[in-house]
């Protein structure tokens, strides 16, 4: 069972602070992007299995929506793991392979080598049903309202009866201000990473965030005090995933 902790006992970060966490992880601690992405995707797959797939993904249909950046890479890791758990996984991407950032692009290549179905955004309407949708279209790099293929995937997700599990933030929600753009994913649950972002507790944004979970990506607690002047105990002592209540 995933432990619950009061949300007001956990520090929230601005987007700029989260960017500094990513920088310090890679440059000062040499915990590279691949390791962080693998941790994020593993925890997302675990949460998907436990919360939405009754502990058994075998032959359950999971539709994965992936952008070209870090969030896309994270849901592609989850797609690989859910496939290995026995789920029927379909992936839809916003751009061609050569427009993915290098690390997410490696994750996409792994899925192709495994024979997992990968389609483009304009093919998404061929999907007639799903047990779960994973949202990794846009993370905290959001700049204004989603357009083009990203907007198409978000609108499709919102039109489905299946629950939506968003990685880090619902696509279309600004993690700094809490601004909800049109379109924006209306998630059943969001699994944010390391520490929650300020925008996820803004007034009215809960209708898009849904239930909020927090997952470990192996950030050393002392990083926060060293670079952000935040004193933090090891909050993931009991579990890699926490539910914020």
Residues in the chain: 245
Rounded Cα gap, residues 206 and 145, in angstroms: 18
Q: Which two tokens stand for residue 64?
A: 């994965």
Q: Which residues pair with 4 in a beta bridge?
A: 243
Can you tell me whether residue 97 is helix, strand or coil?
helix
Confidence of residue 25 (pLDDT cuts 50, 70, 90): very high
Residue from 165, 94, 80 nearest 130 by CA:
165
Q: Which residues pair with 167 in a beta bridge?
A: 191
Overall number of domains in the chain:
1
Rounded Cα gap, residues 171 and 186, in angstroms: 9
What spatial distance separates the first Cα and last Cα of the chain, rounded to whole Å?
Answer: 15
Reduce the secondary structure of 196-231 to three states and give it as a string.
CEHHHHCCCCHHHHCEEEEECCCCCHHHHHHHHCCC
What does the pLDDT look like over 159-209, one tens digit per residue?
Answer: 999 999 999 999 999 998 999 999 999 999 999 999 999 999 999 999 999
pTM of the model: 0.97
Rounded Cα gap, residues 103 and 1, in angstroms: 32
Rounded Cα gap, residues 38 and 216, in angstroms: 11
3-32 average pLDDT score: 94
Q: What CATH number corresponds to the domain at position 9?
A: 3.40.50.10260
Q: Is the pLDDT of residue 1 over 90?
A: no
Containing structural domain, residue 161:
4-244
Separation in Å, CA 85 to CA 110, 119, 191: 16, 21, 20
Q: Is the pLDDT of residue 15 over 80?
A: yes
What does the pLDDT look like over 199-226, one tens digit per residue?
Answer: 999 999 999 999 999 999 999 999 999 9
117-123 average pLDDT score: 96
Q: Is the pLDDT of residue 125 over 80?
A: yes
Q: Which two tokens stand for residue 119?
A: 């389609």
Rounded Cα gap, residues 42 and 145, in angstroms: 29
Rg (CA), the chain: 17
5-34 average pLDDT score: 94
């Amino acid at each position: 069972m995933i432990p619950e902790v009061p949300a007001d006992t956990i520090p929230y970060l601005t987007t700029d602070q989260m960017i500094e966490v990513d920088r310090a992880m890679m440059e000062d601690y040499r915990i590279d992007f691949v390791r962080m992405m693998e941790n994020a995707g593993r925890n997302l797959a675990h949460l998907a299995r436990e919360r939405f797939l009754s502990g058994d993904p075998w032959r359950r249909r999971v539709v994965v929506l992936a952008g070209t950046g870090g969030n896309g890479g994270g849901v592609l890791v989850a797609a690989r793991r859910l496939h290995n758990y026995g789920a029927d996984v379909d992936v839809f991407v916003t751009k061609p392979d050569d427009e993915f950032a290098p690390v997410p692009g490696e994750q996409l290549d792994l899925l192709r080598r495994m024979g997992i179905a990968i389609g483009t955004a304009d093919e998404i309407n061929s999907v007639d049903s799903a047990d779960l949708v994973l949202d990794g279209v846009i993370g905290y790099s959001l700049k204004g309202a989603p357009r083009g293929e990203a907007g198409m995937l978000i609108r499709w997700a919102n039109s489905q009866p299946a629950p939506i599990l968003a990685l880090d933030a619902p696509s279309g929600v600004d993690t700094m201000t809490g601004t909800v753009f049109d379109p924006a994913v209306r998630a059943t649950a969001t699994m944010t990473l390391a520490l929650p972002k300020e925008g996820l507790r803004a007034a009215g944004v809960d209708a898009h965030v849904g239930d909020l979970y927090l997952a470990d990506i192996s950030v050393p607690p002392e990083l926060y005090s060293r670079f952000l002047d935040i004193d933090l105990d090891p909050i993931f002592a009991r579990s890699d995933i926490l539910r914020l209540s």
